[in-house]
Structure 1
Amino acid sequence: MRLPALSAALLLVCVAAFVGLRTAGGQASDTSAGFVAPVAMDLPDYLRPATDPAFGTSIVRISKPGPLGNGVVCGPKYCSHRYSSAQAWNADQTLLLLDNGCNGMCFLDGHTYEALFWRKRGGECEWHPRNAELMICVQDRAVSTWAPRTNHEDVLFTSADYHDLQFGPSKGNPSRDGSRIAVRAVRKDGADVVFAYDLNQRQKFPDIDLSQVPGKTSSCTISPLGTSILCSPNLIDGTEQRVIFAVDGTLLQRWTDHHRPGHGDITLDEDGSEVFVGISKSGPDRYHIIKRRLSDGKVTSLTAFGEAEHASTRALNRPGWAFLSYGGDPDEILANPTWAPYAREIVALRLDGSGAVRRIGQTRNVPFDYWSETHASPSPDGSQVIWSSNWGVPGGPVYEFVTRLDWSEQHNPKEVVANGQP
């Protein structure tokens, strides 16, 4: 049963009760770990910094329908970064990429968010995690590096033995050092395969025939250390499974439970092991945020039941944190105090199992379609988080926002532990 809509007076009472220390100028708030009611806020003007009244964080709206300058044009419905697990900023954060709903690959200044230039190109490209000038691209029969500023491309691999090469597709990332990727391809005999490729050594690893596991694979990615390949989902009778191969083709793990986890990202745990962090859709931790170790499948629940939609670990230089996009109905969350107390909110969650969080901002994003999902993704150092919102208008324009965070010792507020921890 859902509660009636909260009145304006009740909103103010809830905010006063739950917001503890309000921090200034763009750091995440040290709030109570409980539910924080939605706080009304006018749509920020384009490129004019504003303050989230719930948490005191600095927000900048970085998109609007129509021309942004220098040939960059946003579509009328949405104009956004690619996905939560895709890195939106380059390695030194001087460039920020919007490529959904824009008139090509649209590059903004990574700090002022002014439009700089755009490029038309096919295939799939992801930022190199170490070289700020380069993207790693996969298209047709080739793997290459590409410099968006100069439009210069170096082809590293091409072969007549493969076609329809893909970087994932859509959910592929390079290893943390940028040396290896996983490439999906169709071999000339028609087999659907994946193989690891080392960009530095220009070395192709053995083909892994994906027909050896049941179901149809939708995407594959290399692990952070570049030693294994995670493929998902393998859809079998409605169950989205996961398989993990060593780069030599050895089958290491097969996770047969449904979506455990999904909508997530891979990172390194505090002990150096590789883990997949995301939302579980199976028992015993259904709709918890979990981490699952790639080496042996061990699962650790990190939150209580909640309405999280996506997890990102793209803050490569701030290990130990996942950035979570929460949807949900605030009235429903308030009515269930044992749930994770976040509704239409972005939080950063420590991965050490403590349940400690930093609350980043309220999205004011109401459910409508895929393109209006929040898909929060942090910059490499975690100082900025990009996210999408229709700002309370179902079917209205979807805008892009950046929230700035201060992680310094002086301004870093005490971490808080959420209610309802497992």
Structure 2
Amino acid sequence: MRFPTLSAVLLLVCVAAFLGLRTAGGHASNTSRGFEAPVPMDLPGYLRPATDPAFGTGIVRISKPGPLGNGVVCGPKYCSHRYSSAQAWNADQTLLLLDNGCNGMCFLDGHTYAALFWRKRAGECEWHPRNAELMICVHDRAVSTWAPRTNHEDVLFTSPDYHDLQFGPSKGNPSRDGSRIAVRAVRKDGADVVFAYDLSQRQKFPDIELSQVPGKASSCTISPLGKYILCFQDLVDGTEQRAIFTVDGALHQRWTDHHRPGHGDLTVDADGSEVYVGISKSSPDKFQVIKRRLSDGKVTVLTAYGEAEHASTRAIARGDWVFLSYGGDPREVSANPGWAPYAREVIALRIDGSGAIRRIVQTRNPPSDYWSETHASPSPDGSQVIWSSNWGVPGGPVYEFVARLDWSERQNPKEVVANDQP
């Protein structure tokens, strides 16, 4: 009979205690409407359960510089999930991926956060939203599905007519059912194109030549229902515009105002409309969180002016909520009562325009560089949120944290309607 080691026993005890800390996304989220001053807190130990003193949310630090076990090694400066609009967990939340600053694609247990294994591979991969064993990958000349646990890969599409295939890059996601993606490519005649690809039918849709709209496309992604392709266009004057195509290749919408919105994510509204939710950098809603409908460009303002930096709708089971990472200086935010009252904080906001929020955690994350940005991203069911923080030391190590939320009615009184509505 093999007895568990002391370290294994301690880990199980910590995990059990942490699971007992799950809250409604912070008890204060149901009572506090205004600015909440930063509450000091020591850096939690690695894999040690802790509670955010501002909102009562259970959190755990899931990274540290150096070895984590099973060959997984975090770099000295940062070790984090990829981005706010990228899903960090697989479909059943048994695996969690860290791939910034790790020694490859580093896979953790999706609930205990213990390091399991790592893989080296080229190209870009995103979790399949329904098949927990698979990622969808794009590299060089191929589109494939890949099983990280077994390292098995099935190539679905390849063609000598295209090279430099990309999944986005960086901001690409599959459709909500995992059937379609948008693929950037260079055609053999040198044209920069994007096309929709149906993985289940193994069907390529028509090429869309990106030169037909001004600027240079930085990234493209399929919409949640697989109807549209949204592309981000960078113009020489610094303006960042949006072009929306149907999967059959027709230019459907052009949003020529700068970054309206940006740093966002796609979801499906209550009425079935596909919307892009993010932060506007143009009038009349500059630095407000907005949603914009892909079908006709209609804008709905969701918050007052504020310091929101990134938006994520990766909790696809809760598509009516967006998870927002707020930066800013708490002193400046507190001195401006007309602003959205959040500084260095992660919140969830209902996108129906009601202003209903759940305050999740204070990040204690002063600005430093890109890798230290919070980039909060929820799990598919919204029960967990991953986020990054330098924990009050600009230029210091950036750690990864997970906060856990309980959405049950028993735990959640009616969510608060914030006083920051426009």
Structure 2-normalised TM-score? 0.94
> How much does 1:27 deviate?
2.2
Amino acid at match of 1:26: T
Q: Partner of 1:27 in structure 2?
A: 24
- Runs (4+) of structure 1 exceeding 3 A deviation are none
Distance 1:233 1:344 in 2: 29
Aligned pairs (5 A) from 1:215-234: 215-234=215-234
Give the SS at the match of 1:374.
coil
Matches for 1:71-110 after TM superposition, within 5 Å: 71-110=71-110
Question: Which consecutive residues of structure 1, in runs of 5 or more, have no partner in the other structure?
Answer: 1-22
Match of 1:62 in 2: 62
Cα contact 2:348–2:360 (8 A) shared by 1: yes
Contact map agreement 2:58 2:403 (CA 8 A) in 1: yes
Which residue number in structure 1 is paired with residue 299 of structure 2? 299
Aligned-residue offset at 1:415: 1.0
Partner of 1:19: none
Distance 1:213 1:319 in 2: 30
Q: Is this contact kept in 2: 1:214–1:236, CA < 8 A?
A: no
Alignment of 1:21-420 (within 5 A): 25-28=22-25, 29=27, 30-420=30-420
Distance in 2 separating the partners of 1:210 and 1:46: 46
Q: Deviations over 1:248-295 (max 9, x none)?
A: 110000000000000000000010100000000000000000000000
Cα distance change, pair 39–245 in 1 and its aligned pair in 2 (3 A): same
Q: Is 2:23–2:411's contact at 8 Å kept on the other side of the alignment?
A: no
Shift of 1:387: 0.1
Corresponding letter in the other structure for 2:359: R
- CA offset digits 1:297-345 (Å, max 9, x no partner): 0000000000000000000011200000000000001000010000000
Partner Cα distance (1:354, 1:209) in 2: 40
Q: For 1:181, what is the secondary structure of its paired residue? A: strand
Q: Is the 8 A contact 1:224 1:267 kept in 2?
A: yes
How far apart are the structure 2 equivalents of 1:298 and 1:27? 33
State the partner residue of 1:15.
none
Distance change in 2, residues 1:192/1:273 (3 Å): same
CA distance in 1, matches of 2:115, 2:31: 35
The answer as to whether partners of 2:214 and 2:233 remain within 8 angstroms in 1 is no
Question: How far 1:234 moved relative to its partner?
Answer: 3.2
- Partner Cα distance (2:383, 2:140) in 1: 36
Contact 1:31 1:359 survives alignment (8 Å): no
Cα RMSD, aligned residues only: 0.9
- Cα distance in 2 for residues equivalent to 1:194 and 1:421: 38
Which secondary structure does the structure 2 equivalent of 1:317 belong to?
A: helix
| Alpha-carbon separation, structure 1, partners of 2:21 and 2:396 | 31
Following the alignment from structure 1 to structure 2, what is the Cα–Cα distance between the partners of residues 137 and 420?
A: 41
Tell me the residue number matched to 2:15. Answer: none
* Aligned residue in 2 for 1:11: none
Conserved? CA contact 2:220–2:231, under 8 Å: yes
Equivalent residues of 1:104, 1:118 under 8 A apart = yes
Q: Distance in 2 between matches of 1:319 and 1:225?
A: 12
Question: SS at 2:154's partner residue?
Answer: strand
Distance in 2 (CA, whole Å) between partners of 1:327 and 1:106 is 27
Q: Deviations over 1:17-69 (max 9, x none)?
A: xxxxxx96432222311000000000000001100000000010000000000
Please give the secondary structure, in 1, of the residue aligned with 2:211: helix
Q: Write the letter of the residue equivalent to 2:103.
A: N
- Report how far residue 236 of structure 1 moved: 4.2
Q: Would the aligned equivalents of 2:146 and 2:153 in 1 still touch at CA under 8 Å?
A: yes
| AA partner of residue 110 (structure 1) | G
CA contact (8 A) 2:366 2:394 kept: yes
State how far apart, in whole Å, the 1-side matches of 2:250 and 2:256 are.
17
| CA spacing shift, 1:24–1:122, aligned 2, 3 Å | closer
State how far apart, in whole Å, the 2-side matches of 1:227 and 1:51 are: 42
1:105-149 deviation per Cα after TM superposition (whole angstroms, max 9, x unaligned) = 000000000000000000000000000000000000000000000
Contact 2:136 2:145 in 1 (8 A): yes
Quick one: distance in 2 between partners of 1:126 and 1:141?
17
Residue identity opposite 2:218 in structure 1: S
Identity %: 85
The residue type equivalent to 1:184 in the other structure is: R
What does residue 5 of structure 1 align with?
Answer: none
Task: Give the deviation of 1:414 after TM superposition.
Answer: 2.4
Taking the aligned partners of 1:214 and 1:122, their CA distance within structure 2 comes to 31
Label 1:236 to 1:243 Cα distance change in 2 as closer, same or farther (>3 A).
Answer: farther
User: How many residue pairs end up in the alignment?
Assistant: 400
Q: Distance in 1 between matches of 2:148 and 2:120?
A: 10
Which letter does structure 1 place at the counterpart of 2:82? R
| Structure 1 residue 417, shift from structure 2 partner | 1.7
Match of 2:60, SS state, is: strand
CA separation in 2, counterparts of 1:206 and 1:421?
43
- Contact residue 269 and residue 320 of structure 2 kept, 8 A: yes
Q: Is the 8 A contact 1:337 1:419 kept in 2?
A: no
